[in-house]
Chains A and B, each alone.
Chain A
Amino acid sequence: MHSEDGEPVWQRLAPPALAFRVVTGVQRFVRENLFLFAGAGAGAAFSDWMGPRELMLVGLVVVLGVLVTALVQHRRFRFRLEDDAVRVRQGLFQRTELRAQFDRVQNVRLSQPFYFRPFDLVRFSLETPGAATAEVELPGIPRPLAETMRDRVLAQLQSGDGEEAGAETDEAPTSGPLILMRVPTAALLRHGMSSNQLWILAAALFYVLDLILRRYETEPAVESAVAWLRDQTAGGWLLPSVLALAVVGFLFATSGLLALVRFRDYRLLDHGDRVVAHFGRVDRQERTLRRARITGLSLRQSPVGRLLDCWQLTARQTRSEDPGQVDGGSTFLVPGLRWRDLELTAALLRDARIPQRMTAIDAGFRRILQQRLVLVWLLLMIAVVSTPDRGADLWMPMGVLLVAALALIHLRWRHWGWHLDGKLLWVRRGLFGRRFEAIELERVQQASLLESPWQRRHGLRTLELILPQGALTIPYLPAETAAGLANRALQAAERLAPGTAATGRPVCSEVTATCRRDRLSSWLLFAAGEAVAKGRPAAAGAASAAMDDAESRSWASSSRPRADQESLPQASFGGAGRRPGRSSRGCCSPAAPDCPPRISIPETRRSRPAGGCSTTWTQRCAVRECQGCRSAAHRGLPLAAHLPAAGLVPDGGRRRSPVPELARSSVPARRRGSWLRAGQSSGRCERTPGATLAAGSGSPWSAGRDRAGTRSLPRAARRGAPGGLGGPRTAAGERDRRRCLCRLDAGGGALSAGAPGGPAAGGGAA
């Protein structure tokens, strides 16, 4: 493996690997060109003018072609084992070099077809999803070498996993692998019978029979057989049914045997940080799956499987985008499980147990589908019945069809359910069969909520979570539930607030989640401030540079001296905190003396008590309040009523409605709905009418616009100032947010959401 100077050398595959290439080449050729032979009519045409001799000739040509290709590819194939990766050079016309890094590996697969056994060769493949080529395969290397490589890969993985899954490696059994599951022969037979193979076999069988009959129907033997069959079936129903049973039995048996051959001696072993499956007699396989890479589980039971009590479990991983993967080797499948064996889920995914009860989706799903179905059926019936002949005969079958379809819809609705179990989300679906999907919320990559017009009217949403393994959809959830699930998933995925549940304190980072600025620059300023607070001046400098750059280009002038900002620790960021008057969303006009600075959160955070995020929590609270200011109670009131006594002069005649009140809200309510909720415990934002601008600084986030807010205001107010980066919309709503007070609790003093420093003019620190 290594030359004298320690450099890894390029190696070649062993000669018998050629056989493998030929076999797979032929398989691939047949698979890709099957349509030529089996397409509609083509099969019959071929069988007409192609006798057995011609067929053999064609077959021979194909095999020769594949052989030559395989030879050339074999000669070109080189691989090299390095410390942390495997490099492969291959290609006929296009030389490609692949490099599979060990720490990106998701699965390792060793398989040994029967024709490799005499030479003790194996087929070694690494799966690295996310790369351009998802699978790196070495078809035909000596087994000791393959095992060495596997161990090296896994050793790498283990050290890599050590940081990720600290607890798990502690539990790594030192006493050797633990047998998680052993699947007996009977279970494998059942698995075969209940799998989709059955239907494929049936289709193949009927196709072949049809072909044979058509080709040979002129032969006397076949003719007499067909005639005999016809006589027998004309007599009674016994023989046809026996025949049918025999065919079905044959199909079942074949399917079961195929599964048995494929999965013989299935054993699942637990090696601590990884799970290894050994199976197969003819084609021995060993598949290794890293536990950390399991993103979810899928349990399936086909309709036949329901009768036979046969489940299959698939460990979900990152889906590979490589379309060249044909083998289906990327799925890690445990076949032939009984219901009681499904406790295996807990071994693969932490704390994953099939929940006893599931929450159903809204009945609207059933209602809308049934309504639409009946509508379509009625239209169809009208069309059908009005046909002059035979129209009336179709009532009965159409009626039966309708009832059957309605029942199917009901079944489908009933089987759809979900359950949130700590960090795992379980979803069940299925019509005749059953299917459970378990996902870890941490793995969510994107959360999407869809609403159709009908759903919108009825307050329902469809939740779609996108995960590395694909998308998971739960339709027709009540809007609150859907939003709650999405928020939960996002929190897990973003790893927010790891300590929230434990300490009950919100995390500071959540503050900016809702405190947005209308100008990205000011937001960047905040980010910079935060970076400084966290001790990352480089990032802060970058952010400030970006912001200054943007500011200097887009902001005309500043009428506020920069000196005010000097007292801020973020003084280096320039005076962008205050840009009075320029922006329509700006908080103040040059005329107003107490123009509040736009950023005060950093300031507040500077005074944050050690270990606490309380003040930022305040601001978070404040944001809710601010938004609550636009509650139903305030809508409809003329804006002038909102102007505070010592307030800002409306600039340019545009109304500003700094609503000083806070809403008491603890629920993240909708934008349009009511934000108010009475009777909250301490720590919530309280309504403090009238008080306000004394604190002057107001909220630092004269944040963006909210359509809900704008709608309640007259149009004039909505039109923003010309210029500025924002759009024409300047919601008065945003001004609402400026002046908010947050009273932490009855005991504590009123806390200005803006800053402790008081008005900008005075404090500067705000």
Chain B
Amino acid sequence: MNDAARNPEIDVDGLPDYRAVPLHPVAPGYLPCALLGSGAFWLAASLVALVLPHMPLETDLPRGPVPFLVVAGVGVLFLVRTWLDARLRGWAVREHDLIYRSGVLWRRTTILPFARIQHVESVSGPLERRVGLMRLKCFTAGGSGGDLVILGLDAERARRVRAHLLGRIGDDADGSDAL
């Protein structure tokens, strides 16, 4: 096992590939939370669509179930999208960077090096707290375009990742240009 003498060739393809990293999916509590959130909104919208034509307002909406069905249909589509989104989201922490993937139709994979993270915050809303979820916000220099929000981490893990990130930020920033 002594390869000190060897010098294996490393070609460009030997770069670490972000695609080679399997991603953690979101915590199990994320899906119900997200579904609840968007479900509540669309439920309310469908109720409005149901009730509105019957109210004595000057609207041309047709009576009957059509508006309700339309809104409910769109709502169902959004719920399906939320479900797919929860399945497809993923994150991973490598030694030097953070990988995050999100999106259903338009998918985006973002890789954020630790050396560029200036600050990390963890946030959780009331519903998320119930389920034990947290989100991590990583802020970079140069404006909000470079910020990354990771959704769907369970609280424990989020705290650990944040602690690790804060530690790494300190390390990696030592040798780099403070920007």
Contact B116 A446, beta carbon cutoff 8 Å: yes
- State whether the Cβ of B175 lies closer than 8 Å to any Cβ in chain A: yes
Contacts of A469 in B (CB 8 A): 142
Q: Nearest chain A CB to B132's CB is how many angstroms away?
A: 10
Contact A445 B142, beta carbon cutoff 8 Å: yes
- State whether the Cβ of A41 lies closer than 8 Å to any Cβ in chain B: no
Contact A466 B142, beta carbon cutoff 8 Å: yes
CA of A456 to CA of B103, assembled, Å: 13
CA of A682 to CA of B3, assembled, Å: 12
Contact A667 B13, beta carbon cutoff 8 Å: yes
Task: Give A532-560 as 1s and 0s: 1 = Cβ < 8 Å from B's Cβ atoms.
Answer: 00000001001100100010011000000
CA of A146 to CA of B11, assembled, Å: 53
Contacts of B115 in A (CB 8 A): 493-495
- State whether the Cβ of A617 lies closer than 8 Å to any Cβ in chain B: yes
Asked whether A516 and B28 contact (CB < 8 A) given A449-B108, A756-B1, the answer is no
Q: Nearest chain A CB to B172's CB is how many angstroms away?
A: 8
**CB within 8 Å of B: which of A202-245?**
none
Contact of A491 among B16, B106, B109, B112 (CB under 8 A): B16
Contact A725 B107, beta carbon cutoff 8 Å: no
**CB within 8 Å of B: which of A715-766?**
725, 727-729, 731, 733-734, 744-745, 748-749, 751, 756
Contact B140 A748, beta carbon cutoff 8 Å: no
- State whether the Cβ of B21 lies closer than 8 Å to any Cβ in chain A: yes
Q: Nearest chain B CB to A750's CB is how many angstroms away?
A: 10
- A: number of interface residues (CB 8 Å): 102
Q: Nearest chain A CB to B86's CB is how many angstroms away?
A: 10
Give the interface size class of chain B.
35 or more
Contacts of B92 in A (CB 8 A): 516, 704
**CB within 8 Å of A: which of B72-120?**
90, 92-97, 103, 105-116
- State whether the Cβ of B161 lies closer than 8 Å to any Cβ in chain A: yes
- State whether the Cβ of B58 lies closer than 8 Å to any Cβ in chain A: no
Please choose the segment from A12-20, A357-365, A506-514 that sits at the chain B interface, where 4 or more of its residues have CB less than 8 A away.
A506-514
Contact of A681 among B4, B9, B106, B161 (CB under 8 A): B9
- State whether the Cβ of A610 lies closer than 8 Å to any Cβ in chain B: yes
Contact of A748 among B3, B9, B11, B157 (CB under 8 A): B3
Contact B17 A483, beta carbon cutoff 8 Å: yes
Contact B140 A445, beta carbon cutoff 8 Å: yes
Task: Give B2-19 as 1s and 0s: 1 = Cβ < 8 Å from A's Cβ atoms.
Answer: 111011111111111111
Contact A490 B97, beta carbon cutoff 8 Å: yes
Contact of A705 among B11, B16, B22 (CB under 8 A): B22
Contact A707 B19, beta carbon cutoff 8 Å: no
CA of A707 to CA of B21, assembled, Å: 11
Contacts of B113 in A (CB 8 A): 444-446, 490, 493-494
CB pairs A–B below 8 angstroms (14 shown) = A452-B105, A490-B111, A490-B113, A491-B15, A493-B113, A495-B176, A496-B96, A506-B14, A510-B95, A520-B164, A523-B93, A669-B19, A669-B20, A748-B1
Which residues of A pack against B, CB within 8 Å? Answer: 104, 129-130, 164, 292, 318-319, 321, 444-453, 456, 466-471, 483-484, 486-488, 490-491, 493-496, 500, 503-506, 509-514, 516, 518, 520-521, 523-524, 527, 539, 542-543, 546, 550, 553-554, 607, 609-612, 614-615, 617, 620, 623-624, 627, 666-671, 681-683, 703-709, 725, 727-729, 731, 733-734, 744-745, 748-749, 751, 756
Q: A449-B108, A681-B9, A706-B23 are in contact. List 19 more A-B contacts (CB 8 A).
A: A164-B177, A445-B140, A445-B142, A447-B110, A448-B108, A449-B109, A450-B107, A451-B108, A468-B179, A490-B111, A495-B176, A520-B157, A554-B156, A615-B1, A617-B8, A704-B23, A707-B22, A708-B22, A725-B154
